[in-house]
Structure 1
């Protein structure tokens, strides 16, 4: 199956957008990789890439052939994993695109999964609530676990759940009302994220306005000075309870995959595992 080599080269070029960057993944020079690509394009009779001033991009013909190439690679990978499973080996790899607000939940859930399937390796890649579709459709991710997702055509939902936002702060106490938020240094998610949009919409509906003291896409350790900090976060992503909000704000959590795509066995098992974890929330 020597043709698989050039298929993997092409996949790396598409993912990196550069022949030079793709060559760094393999023990091959950029010039040698370019010669292999040119020879393959000559065999096809069509250029797969448009050479740009910086990097490359798929041509119209390349878009068509690339879909066949990644389908072929996925089929071979699935067959290899199925054969390994038949031989009693528990191996495989899963790539998951995840919202920053759900990385801890994903980490805890997959840790339990790997206790049963220790041979399965994983890659987690943080992604935007409106950008995960690219990872699924481009095959750089098998699954996506997203808060407040914005869907594109070609994506199907595997499982959904809801999670109340809670207030992460160093101070214990009763549920927090919007009227008391002025007492805190607010930590907001970055603009354009699903969680930030949810918070902004909630504040507008309740005619409340407060500028953040900090903006961060990760969960920070609560501070106490110069004032106590407060950060909204999905309860599902916290290992311990935090202070609830006086008026609940609900985030939608979704596990998604590319529509019609046959997942490798390891990713299929992980999909079922994550779906059960979401439904248990």
Structure 2
């Protein structure tokens, strides 16, 4: 297993861009990390990092090496996960990349349910938009992606697609909260608190408002939906979120969520996916199955 220890060091250096930071990540001294890297490069016959006063970065050979390294580390994790399953004790680690809309309600509930059954599994959750998620899957930084895109299918293997309607979020005593469904024109009669550009929900709103005479500039923008919720709870402003990220009745805490009429904003899609062609470790594979089941029940879907 000596080569795996070397691979973990090479991966840490590539991720941090620093010998010293990589040493802290793998709990070794910088000199030990440097010796291990030099030994691997001598064995390989090529240098894989460009050195500079600002740190190190992969060169062309290194880009090839790091894909092999991460594939081998992923295979090792999958093997250990399968062996643990043979003993009847599920172990392993699951790394998930998700859109911000999944982080307040849906994903925490799903992870809690999984850990209730398999407490020895560990999780890592990164908030990523769809482009970042595809790159994270490709580099083995995450095992699964659960991301929203209002424009089209992402560049990874899609396990499930769930439609997502845009939802207006406002204070519970807001005038619009009395309606079962709202029009975009009515929302624009109030101050708008919007996610910053780049978020999928914001793109849906911008497209829907483009050229409309009733469109208005946002009074507030933020990259945090938690802040946007707090703002609209304390004001007459309205914000927007996709359905799975909008607070439901039991989660509202002074908020109300109402769907936007589909005539104003067509639905986007939530994608669950993985790196194309990759066989996931058991823990990640079983969690993907749980997510597929939960989303299918919620939206009456069949897996793609």
Pairwise same-fold verdict (TM > 0.5): yes
Taking the aligned partners of 2:269 and 2:81, their CA distance within structure 1 comes to: 33
Query: Aligned Cα RMSD in Å?
Result: 2.0
Taking the aligned partners of 1:160 and 1:236, their CA distance within structure 2 comes to: 13
Q: Which residue of 1 aligns with 2:246?
A: 238
Out of 172, 179, 186, which is 1:180 matched to? 186
Q: Which residue of 1 aligns with 2:206?
A: 200
Change in CA separation of 1:13 and 1:210 when aligned onto 2, cut-off 3 Å = same
Matched, 1:279 2:296: yes
Q: Which residue of 2 aligns with 1:159?
A: 160
Instruction: Quote how far apart the aligned CAs of 1:146 are.
Output: 0.4
Out of 253, 259, 274, which is 1:257 matched to? 274
Taking the aligned partners of 2:280 and 2:23, their CA distance within structure 1 comes to: 27
Taking the aligned partners of 1:253 and 1:177, their CA distance within structure 2 comes to: 22
Task: After superposition, give the CA deviation of every residue in 1:183-228 in whole Å (9 maximum; x if it has no partner).
Answer: 4231111112222111111111655421112212332225355x41
- Secondary structure of 1:229 counterpart: coil
Q: Is the 8 A contact 1:133 1:152 kept in 2?
A: yes
For normalisation by structure 2, the TM-score amounts to: 0.85
Correspondence list, 1:124-163, <5 A: 124-148=125-149, 153=155, 155-163=156-164
Q: Is the 8 A contact 2:12 2:26 kept in 1?
A: no
Instruction: Quote how far apart the aligned CAs of 1:12 are.
Output: 0.9
Instruction: Quote how far apart the aligned CAs of 1:47 are.
Output: 0.6
More displaced, 111-120 or 202-211?
202-211
Instruction: Quote how far apart the aligned CAs of 1:181 are.
Output: 2.5
Question: Where do 5+ consecutive residues of structure 1 fail to align?
Answer: none
Size of the aligned set, in residue pairs, is: 279
Q: Which residue of 2 aligns with 1:79?
A: 79
Q: Which residue of 2 aligns with 1:212?
A: 218
Instruction: Quote how far apart the aligned CAs of 1:139 are.
Output: 0.5
Q: Is the 8 A contact 2:95 2:141 kept in 1?
A: yes
Change in CA separation of 1:51 and 1:268 when aligned onto 2, cut-off 3 Å = same
Question: Where do 5+ consecutive residues of structure 2 fail to align?
Answer: 250-256, 300-304
Taking the aligned partners of 1:11 and 1:25, their CA distance within structure 2 comes to: 10
Matched, 1:229 2:234: no
Correspondence list, 1:34-113, <5 A: 34-103=34-103, 104-113=105-114
